[in-house]
Amino acid sequence: MHQRKFLVAIYALRKVKRDQRKLAENSVSLGDVAKTTSNTYEMVHDVQNNQEGLSLRMTAMEYQLADINRELSALVEFLRPNRILKNASLTTSGIINSHDNTVRRRCNAVEVES
C-alpha cells in the first residue's frame, strides 16, 4: 500500500516536471520580451531619423526648385525683348530682301527681252 502511494507520487511528480518543461519551451521569457521591445524601439528610432533627414532634403530640394524656377522666369523676361527686336529686324530685312529680289527679277526679265 505504501509502495503504491509512493509510485503514484512519483508518477505525479514526473507529470508535473513534464508539464513544466512544456511550459518552459512554449513560454516567452521576460528577457525575450524586453529584448524584442528594445530592438523595436531602436528600429522605430532609426526610421524616424531617416524620415527627418529625408524631409530636410526634400525641403532643400523644394527651395532649389523654386530658385531655378525664379531664374528661368528672369531669363525668359530677359530674352523676350531681344527676341522681339530680333524678329522685328528679321521681318524688316525680309521685306527689303524680297523687294530687292523683285527688282532683280524685273531687271533680269528686261535684259532677257532686249
Domain boundaries, the chain: 35-114
Question: What gap in Å lies between CA 80 and CA 72, rounded to an integer?
Answer: 12
| Predicted pLDDT of residue 112 | 53
The one-letter code for the residue type at 38 is S
Predicted confidence (pLDDT) per residue in 67-114, tens digit: 999 999 999 888 887 766 666 666 655 554 555 555 555 555 555 555
Instruction: Return the ∠ at Cα 13 (arms to 10 and 15), rounded to 5°.
Output: 110
